[in-house]
Amino acid sequence: MTDAIQPAGRGDRAIISVRNLVKYFPIESGLLRRQVGLVKAVDDVSFDLNDGETLALVGESGCGKTTTSHCIIQAQRPTAGEVHFRIGDTRPVDLTKMEKADLKKARRNIRMIYQDPYSSLNPRMTLLQIIGEPLKIHGQVKSQDELRARVSDLLRLVRLDPSTLNRYPHAFSGGQRQRIAIARALSLSPKVVIADEAVSALDVSVQAQILNLLKELQRELGLTYLFVAHNLAVVKYEADRVAVMYAGKIVEIGETEELYTCPKHPYTEALISAAPNPDPDTKNRPRIVLTGDVADPGNLPGGCSFHPRCRYAEDLCKQETPPLMELSAAGEPSHQSACHFADRLSLAGIGAAELTTDRDAA
């Protein structure tokens, strides 16, 4: 199954290559903490994050998208697998094998934005302290004056008034707080920013502002984003490529437009049909309502994890786990799906017209 994906280090544009990433959590019970099971939060995930692109990781709650992002930055150590990180033409390094000191250096280039801006900023610190903290820890500033200057620049970068740097987070709204979090993430001039549901906790109107800001910053600073989200409308606007996760596995990955107009996995089809559609002209597209709950990663069904909820499932699906397979011809942009019948099923996406109207609207 990995044949289809280029081996680590050979992907020309890959800044991060995730290979066979696995994260299991043991289920323990009783006084002696006997292990009675495994939660397969991330189960054999491989993908490339290309330099300068935005890759969205989407899926339902509990599908392992956040765990994947945490395993990339080594906030949680993966059970198995490799995460290769490369800047420019240097040799890729495997983050999973790194010691704490080296990891500290690598993390200067991979930064994280959290979902909840109310919990991710220390209420006991001023903006100057919050945003300046990474600069201080990494010894990037010599004096307090330099720190103030750098933090002011960062505040300007995220379109906040630099005169507010002595304020505490409680003085700011959710959207403003998320800007502060972005400023902190950018303080060390990183290459990659992992945005873990960075706009999910915000009002819709504020979401648009933050998304625009992220796009502008990407253009200005040449950032690469790994965008973890469950909102397909947000992803459609933001992402170049999309990886759909279900029960700890990537079930489909491809260019955003291709994946939205022409999905190759029944789960992707269901997700797309569930996304609210603001355009009255195309309102009548069929809605696929999934039955049952999302698969329990502690007790996965055999075969394809999605088969109990899949309306196209056949006997084969219950027995064999489908590998992630390349569907597009050589030379075309890659589009992979993990479905036995990916090339046979004709699945409904959204019309190309709808996609462009949405983009314009956003």
Binding site for another protein (CB under 8 A): 73, 75, 104, 107-108, 111-112, 114-116, 119-124, 126, 133-134, 137-138, 159-161, 164, 166-168, 170-171, 173, 176, 181, 184, 208-209, 212-213, 216
- Residue 341 token pair: 């019948």
Place of tokens 């890959």: 14
Comparing CB distances to another protein, the nearer of 124 and 344 is: 124
> What element of type H or E holds 90?
none
Strand partners, 23: 42
In angstroms, what is the minimal distance from the CB of 198 to another protein? 12
CA–chain centroid gap for 272, Å, is 17
Comparing CB distances to another protein, the nearer of 130 and 235 is: 130
Comparing CB distances to another protein, the nearer of 114 and 246 is: 114
Comparing CB distances to another protein, the nearer of 106 and 325 is: 106
In angstroms, what is the minimal distance from the CB of 184 to another protein? 7
In angstroms, what is the minimal distance from the CB of 337 to another protein? 33
In angstroms, what is the minimal distance from the CB of 107 to another protein? 6
DSSP 91: P
Phi-psi region of 59 (alpha: psi -120 to 50; beta: other; left: phi over 0): left
In angstroms, what is the minimal distance from the CB of 268 to another protein? 30
Q: Is 282 helix (H, G, I), strand (E, B) or coil?
A: helix
Comparing CB distances to another protein, the nearer of 44 and 358 is: 358
Alpha-carbon span 273 to 291, nearest angstrom = 14
For every residue of 307-345, DSSP letters joined together read: GGG-TT--HHHHH-PPPPEE-SPTTSPPEEE--TTTTT-
Q: What is the dihedral of CA 210, 62, 86, 224, to 10 degrees?
A: -20
Comparing CB distances to another protein, the nearer of 171 and 352 is: 171
In angstroms, what is the minimal distance from the CB of 301 to another protein? 30
